[in-house]
Amino acid sequence: YGPPGTGKTLLAKAVANMLGGGNGSFFSFEAGEIVRAEVGNSEKRVVAAFETARTNAPSVIFIDEFQALFTERSGSGSGRLASTLLQSMDDVNMWNEASDENEEKRVVVMGATNAPWMVDKAFLRPGRFDRVVHVGLPTSEERLSILHVLLHRMRTANDLMNDVQFLNDLVESTSGFSGADLAALCRAAASRCLNASDTKNFVEASHFMSALREDVSPSSNRALVKRLQNWS
């Protein structure tokens, strides 16, 4: 759980890549899409997704926006969907136990949410989502590492990659940014470069600073970030 854009999906994909010596399969769906499906069809889609994950084991089945299961539909339909998902998770747990935890047959179920307090506690019991991990906003050191990766993919002017003052200013100015926000900042700076007439298509420090002032801001507000930090 954590703010949007902090790499929860990437983390799930990394787990899949670790399974089976790098041959793990990755399957994902958004809970909101399942919830909005026609009653009856949504339950069938959940069952089919879990069956596919078992058939293609080792695998990860990843459920994004998990809180949508408890917010977008009320009544008996929502209850049936939750029950179907709980049963599917229990079936996977028994599948893994029957396989003696053989990694070649293992299925890992992962979910992501930016509102963990909305998730029914029945899903947090052992054998279901029994490990809860907070994926928070990057620290200043982590933002610097992310920016290094992103800047390496860009055509930058005047050896910007090695401009310590520029990098320090950029890291300081992006407090509260997620990894996705930093990527958006780089895209905005590149766009400003393309729209300029005097830079020869090399992204300069001024493009980043202009993008920070006018184009990009943190996608998560401080109240949400603090609430997620304090949730347990």
Residue among 10, 7, 11, 5 at smallest CA distance from 181: 5
How far apart CA 178 and CA 7 sit, in angstroms, is: 9
Rounded to 5°, angle at Cα 55 from 27 and 49: 40
Residue among 28, 17, 18 at smallest CA distance from 61: 28
Query: H-helix or E-strand containing 109?
Result: strand 107-111
pTM of the model: 0.86
Q: Which domains are assigned to the chain? A: 8-123 (3.40.50.300), 140-215 (1.10.8.60)
How far apart CA 127 and CA 131 sit, in angstroms, is: 9
How far apart CA 183 and CA 203 sit, in angstroms, is: 14
Burial of 81 from C-beta contacts in 10 A (0-12 / 13-18 / 19+): buried
How far apart CA 70 and CA 194 sit, in angstroms, is: 44
pLDDT of residue 79: 76
From first to last of the 232 residues of the chain, give the pLDDT tens digit. Answer: 999 999 999 999 999 999 877 889 999 999 888 877 777 788 999 999 999 999 999 999 999 999 988 864 445 556 788 899 999 999 999 999 888 767 788 999 999 999 999 999 999 998 899 999 999 999 999 999 999 999 999 988 878 888 999 999 999 999 999 999 999 999 999 999 988 766 567 899 999 999 999 999 999 999 999 999 999 7
Cα-Cα-Cα-Cα torsion 34, 39, 45, 47, nearest 10 degrees, comes to 120
How far apart CA 82 and CA 167 sit, in angstroms, is: 47
